[in-house]
Structures are given as structure tokens and as C-alpha cells.
Structure 1
Amino acid sequence: MLSIGTPLLWSFFAAFVLVALVVDFVALNRRGAQAVSLREAGMWSLVWVAVSFVFVGWLWWYLGGASGDAAARELADAKALEFVTGYLVEKALAVDNIFVFLMLFTYFAVPAEFQRRVLMIGIIGALILRAVMILVGAWLIASFHWVMYLFGVFLVFTGVKMWWAAGQEPDLDANPALQWVKRRVKIAPGYDGERFFTTVNGVRMATPLLVVILLIGIVDVVFAVDSIPAIFAITTDSFIVLTSNVFAILGLRAMYFLLAGMHERFHLLPYGLAVVLVFIGTKMLLVDIYKIPIVWSLGFTVTTLAVTMLLSLRIPARPGETGSAYPFGAKKRDASSPEEEG
């Protein structure tokens, strides 16, 4: 499988990600356990989007986009389009990821000042999972071409399932992941600062914060399974796949605090995501018959997501309708009230 990744590019990218993570965590943690303001979250969200486009601009220039070599310009243009398309798809999926985080935080009544630490751990987990799954996916596609068809079928199925689930009120109480955790972990009735474990009546228990961390880890796995095939439908270049994924995830904490109060406004977004996933899956199934140009994929993705977001602002949500199509409920759990844990 051909890739533009060279030792220099990989080293530069790895160093950049480390610096970006340090900046992100230091910037949002410099005051300790305090809630992030809407203004600060908006500023940092714009910064990370700008950084992503600066990166793709630099990559375009590095590949010869500004040179007089026609072949180099063609390669630079193609890779830049692949990155932007992949970035937008992964960013859109990340928005749905944020809505699931919001549901978990609401259900477990996680104080705003504790949410940043949870998000930090969730983002690191998402980065590691995606890196591993991208390497595995790249190897599978390079070794077994038929895996492309498997990914295509999976994406079409996921899109149809997302469309069907959109607008339905999920129930976290019945979620098998939460039930599995409850059967194996003794959960304290309330929080103990940012600690993951506490002692209640002489018994050591996990705090609800640890349960949220575990569930977010499961969410990371679910979204990685959905997002990795989607990006491979756009490009099989492992460097573009990984960089577009990572840049979509960077700044996720800031974007969470920006969108936390706006999830109901984008209640139709899951329908747009469903259509995009079906389109991408179909593109993957047709890969040996007709290769849909990247610019068409980009235009379709942008148009679909923009239309569903605009319609969300014009059409009010129905009672009980949520902004996510994933099976995690939004019923609020009073952390001060103990529950019977199995």
C-alpha cells in the first residue's frame, strides 16, 4: 500500500501531536478543577480547526503543490483533498461522540469541574485506539483486498442502523456495558473529588467518576470501529488516515464544552451522518467498478452535514429526541443517592 509517509513526516507529526496534547491539557488545566467557559472553549475550538488547516496547507506545500512540477502538484492536491474529506467525516463523527459524552455526564451528574480530567483520559484512549486500529486496518487492506467490501457492508449497515436509532430516546439503564460494570464493581453513592476510589463505611468502592471513565473507554472502541472503515473508504494512505483522525480528535475537549449546551439544536445531525456513512460504504463497495472522485465525496459530505445542521436550527426537536444515535441514555442519576449494585 502506497503512502506519502516518510520517516521525516512521521517524526514531525509525532512531535507535533505530543506538543499539541501538552498545550491542550495545560491550557485547559492551568486553573485546576474548574469549569471551562464558553468563550474559552470557543477560542480553543477555533484554534484547533485552524491548526488542522495550517497542517494540510503545509503538507500541500511540502508535497510540491506550489512547485512547477505538474505531477507533484497533482499529488499534493489529491492528498490535501483526501485529508480535508477525511477530517470532516471524522470531525462529524466526533461531534456525535461528544453528545454521547454529554449523556454520560448528565446521567451520572458529573460536576463540570471534574469533566475535564475524564475527557483528557478519553481523548488519550481514543488516540491510542485509532492508531492501533489504523495500523491493523492498513495491514488487512494491503493483504486482503476483499476487506474493502467487508468495510463497505459494515458502513452501510452502520448508516442504516444510525438512521433507525436517530430520534429515539435511548435508555442508559438498560445498556449492557453499564450493567456489566455494575455487576463487577462496587460503586460509591457519591463523588470524592477527582478520586477514582473511595472508602464508604470501611468498604473500598469505585466512585462514579471511574464508572464514567470505563464507559467512555467503551464509547471510544465503538466510535473507532465506526470511524476507521469510513476513513479507509476515502483513502488507503496510512499517513493521511492517521493524521486526519488525530487532527479531528485534537481539541475534542474544547469542542465538548462549546457544544455541551447546543446538542439539542443539532438533533437532525445523526440523519446526516447516517447518509454520509451509507454513501461512503457504497463508494467502498464500488471501488473496483467506479472510483468516485474525492472532490465529489468532499462536496457530498459538506453539503449533507450542512443541510442537516441548518434543518436542525429550523425544525424544532420532538419531545425526547436527542442529538445522538448511539445507545446511551440521558436520564440524570443523582450521584448523592445510592443504588443497589449487583
Structure 2
Amino acid sequence: MLEISPLVWGVTIGLVVVLLAADLLLAALRPHKVRFREAAGQSVFYIAVAIAFGVWFTWAYGSDAGTQYFTGYLVEKSLSVDNLFVFVIIMTTFAVPEEHQHKVLTFGIVLALVMRAIFIAAGAALLNAFSIVFLLFGLLLIVTAVQLFRHRDEDPDIEDNTVVKAARRLLPITDDYVGGRLSARVDGARMFTPLFLVLIAIGSIDLLFALDSIPAVFGITSEAFIVFAANAFALLGLRALFFLVQGLLDRLVYLSTGLSIILAFIGVKLILHWLHEDISPSVPEIPTLVSLAVILVVLAVTVVASLVKTKGDPSAHAHAGSLTLTSRKKEQAGR
């Protein structure tokens, strides 16, 4: 186990909080349509921060720890792209005005960080107390991978989201966004705006992604600090990445397939680790460097194959993938 001092924890968390606060302040003070140049500059900045942190971390704690961080960061970054797909679907479903998308994305990132911090703490405690959790996490990832692959050509049905449906049924909702506020007084009565529903949808999706991403990165490392840092730095650049690759996302037609392969691979890695630790030391483990190589190759093949596919077939477009059969598919199956 790495000896991470409270000072390092504090500085790392402080850096993440400062960057998030700056992002929130920018979204609140200057709501606007984010242009390509601005998004590109911010994306480069956040990636540079993540790499700089990784270089320092490698220097301070050794190459093995550094490899774990960069591998975890890569896994979380690739999963966050799928998260972007769902954000696009949510914003399209609710017709979120461009000037308010920045605010929605920042909220989604903050909520994702909070949820993942909670899951990281819980996951680390469980792994330390019960080694069989490695097996359970591995099985969870394999099941998730199978479901994602089965429904790779579908998108999550946001309107069918249980939480969103309950909110629509129980709360008074205005027809317009009322200047980007969460609630407004209409004819003397307090009502919620569609932006409130958007945030509810984002929150429920963040919860689902946290349930997948935390076991995935624990498959790379059992160090809670590395898990947190990889998640935090991968999520920090998500808002800028959304505006940068918004047009490209639709061309990544094999992303769900690639992610399902990565999740299945990490699931197998976790199960092998459990077998090695609890059953027999003769069971081989997958080294972190091998994991990094596999993930890089899968991502590279996914991107190249997707671009080749869409170039040859312009009508092809990507889907975020779904873990369950959507209501639309259920209706088609019932006919």
C-alpha cells in the first residue's frame, strides 16, 4: 500500500476543488455558447494538468504507481466519453438552450465527483475488509459488459427514467427555462423549470455510471488515492470535451463495443486477482502494463474502425448503449 500523506491528499483535493470552483464561476458569470477554440484550449489545459500530476506522482511514488494512475485515468476518460453521449441525449431530449448547457455539464461533473468519492471510500473499505469483493466487482463488470454489448445499438430512454417520471408526476413544471433558473414563481405559485428535470436526469445517470466506473478502476489499482485522482482528473475536463467533440461523438459507432471489451477485460483481471490471492498463488495475474497496453489498443481500434465505418457509410451513427432494453425496443419486440 502506498503511504499517501494527509498533505498530499489535501493538496490534491484542493487542486480539484479550485479547478471545479473556477469552472462553476465561469458558468455562472458568463453563460454563453462555448466555441471550438475555447473548448480546445480548456481540454488541452485539463489534459496537461492530468499528465503533469501523473508525471509528479510517478516521480514521487515510483513507476508502478504512475502506471496505475495513467491506466486508471485512461479507463475513466474512455468511460467518460460514453457519459458524454448520455449528456447529449439528455440535453437533446429536454431541448436545453446552448447558453445553459455549460451549467448543466458542470453540475453533472460536480455530482459525479461527489458520488464517485463516496463509492471510492466505500469500495476501498470493502476491498480491505473482504477480498471476495474483487470477485463481486469482476462479475459486476462482466455482466455490465455483456449488457452493454447486447444493447450497443440503443440509447438510454431518458423519458422512461423512473426518477424523471416521478418528478414529472409530482412536481409542477414550467414550459420554458425561465432564464436558466431551477424554479420560478408563475401566477403566484412556485414551479420548477425543465432545467430542474435535466439535473435530476443527469444525477440519476451519474449514479449509474459511478456504479460501473469505480469497480472498473479498482480493477486497475486498489489504491484509493489513485482511484480518486484518476476519476477526478478524468472528469475535470469533461465539460470542455463535450463541446470539443460534440460533432465527433456521433461518429464513434463502435464506442459501446470497445467499452464493453474493456469492462469485460478488467472484470476478468479482478477475478484472476481474487483467485490468485484467495484460491491459489499459481493463478496468473494480469500486470498493469499489460492492462494499459490492452486498453490503448482497444481504444485505438475502436476509434479507427468507427471513423472508417462512418466514412464508408455516412448514415451510420453512434449510440451510447444501454444496460437494459429500452421502452422503444420493448414495444417493437411486442409487435
Q: CA RMSD in A?
A: 2.0
8 Å CA contact 1:60, 1:79 repeated in 2? yes
Confirm whether residue 94 of structure 1 aligns to residue 93 of structure 2.
no
Hey, what's the Cα distance between the residues in 1 that align with 2:83 and 2:171? 25
Moved more, 151-160 or 192-201: 192-201
State the AA in 2 paired with 1:43.
Answer: G
Hey, what's the Cα distance between the residues in 1 that align with 2:151 and 2:3? 38
Hey, what's the Cα distance between the residues in 2 that align with 1:24 and 1:203? 33
Structure 2 equivalent of residue 299 of structure 1: 293
Which blocks of at least 5 consecutive residues in structure 1 are unaligned?
64-75, 332-342
State the AA in 1 paired with 2:6.
Answer: P
> How far off its partner does 1:202 sit?
4.2
State the AA in 2 paired with 1:46.
Answer: V
Equivalent in 251, 255, 268 of residue 237 of structure 2: 251
Hey, what's the Cα distance between the residues in 2 that align with 1:327 and 1:104? 16
8 Å CA contact 1:159, 1:275 repeated in 2? yes
8 Å CA contact 1:198, 1:205 repeated in 2? yes
Structure 2 equivalent of residue 310 of structure 1: 304
8 Å CA contact 1:42, 1:258 repeated in 2? yes
8 Å CA contact 1:28, 1:36 repeated in 2? no
The correspondence of residues 97-108 of structure 1 with structure 2, limited to 5 A, is 97-108=83-94
Hey, what's the Cα distance between the residues in 2 that align with 1:4 and 1:240? 12
Hey, what's the Cα distance between the residues in 2 that align with 1:327 and 1:212? 20
8 Å CA contact 1:56, 1:80 repeated in 2? yes
Structure 2 equivalent of residue 322 of structure 1: 318
Confirm whether residue 146 of structure 1 aligns to residue 132 of structure 2.
yes
8 Å CA contact 2:156, 2:320 repeated in 1? no
8 Å CA contact 1:24, 1:251 repeated in 2? no
Q: Aligned in 2, Cα 1:209/1:232: closer, same or farther, shift over 3 Å?
A: same
8 Å CA contact 1:4, 1:237 repeated in 2? no
The correspondence of residues 331-342 of structure 1 with structure 2, limited to 5 A, is none
Q: Deviations over 1:264-287 (max 9, x none)?
A: 111211100000000000010111
Hey, what's the Cα distance between the residues in 2 that align with 1:272 and 1:152? 17
> How far off its partner does 1:206 sit?
1.1
8 Å CA contact 2:140, 2:267 repeated in 1? yes
Hey, what's the Cα distance between the residues in 2 that align with 1:7 and 1:45? 29
State the AA in 2 paired with 1:35.
Answer: K
Structure 2 equivalent of residue 335 of structure 1: none
8 Å CA contact 2:173, 2:194 repeated in 1? yes
Hey, what's the Cα distance between the residues in 1 that align with 2:296 and 2:247? 23
Q: Aligned in 2, Cα 1:119/1:169: closer, same or farther, shift over 3 Å?
A: closer
Q: Deviations over 1:216-258 (max 9, x none)?
A: 0111100000000001111001111111110111121111111
- Report the count of equivalent residues: 316
SS in structure 2 of the partner of residue 315 of structure 1: helix
Hey, what's the Cα distance between the residues in 2 that align with 1:129 and 1:248? 14
SS in structure 1 of the partner of residue 176 of structure 2: coil
Q: Deviations over 1:311-334 (max 9, x none)?
A: 1101026868533113798x9xxx
State the AA in 2 paired with 1:205.
Answer: M
Q: Aligned in 2, Cα 1:121/1:154: closer, same or farther, shift over 3 Å?
A: same
Q: Aligned in 2, Cα 1:262/1:327: closer, same or farther, shift over 3 Å?
A: farther
SS in structure 1 of the partner of residue 179 of structure 2: coil
The correspondence of residues 163-242 of structure 1 with structure 2, limited to 5 A, is 163-242=149-228
8 Å CA contact 1:276, 1:304 repeated in 2? yes
Hey, what's the Cα distance between the residues in 1 that align with 2:95 and 2:189? 23
> How far off its partner does 1:195 sit?
0.8
Structure 2 equivalent of residue 46 of structure 1: 44
Structure 2 equivalent of residue 58 of structure 1: 56
The correspondence of residues 16-165 of structure 1 with structure 2, limited to 5 A, is 16-27=15-26, 32-63=30-61, 76-165=62-151
> How far off its partner does 1:187 sit?
1.6
> How far off its partner does 1:50 sit?
1.1
State the AA in 2 paired with 1:322.
Answer: A
Q: Aligned in 2, Cα 1:293/1:149: closer, same or farther, shift over 3 Å?
A: same
Hey, what's the Cα distance between the residues in 2 that align with 1:300 and 1:243? 21
Hey, what's the Cα distance between the residues in 2 that align with 1:81 and 1:22? 29
Moved more, 97-106 or 196-205: 196-205
Hey, what's the Cα distance between the residues in 2 that align with 1:212 and 1:137? 28
Aligned sequence identity (%): 38
Hey, what's the Cα distance between the residues in 1 that align with 2:202 and 2:314? 27
Hey, what's the Cα distance between the residues in 1 that align with 2:203 and 2:211? 13
Q: Aligned in 2, Cα 1:300/1:260: closer, same or farther, shift over 3 Å?
A: same
Hey, what's the Cα distance between the residues in 2 that align with 1:303 and 1:164? 22
Which blocks of at least 5 consecutive residues in structure 2 are unaligned?
277-282, 329-335
> How far off its partner does 1:11 sit?
1.7
SS in structure 2 of the partner of residue 262 of structure 1: helix
Q: Aligned in 2, Cα 1:243/1:192: closer, same or farther, shift over 3 Å?
A: same
8 Å CA contact 1:168, 1:320 repeated in 2? no
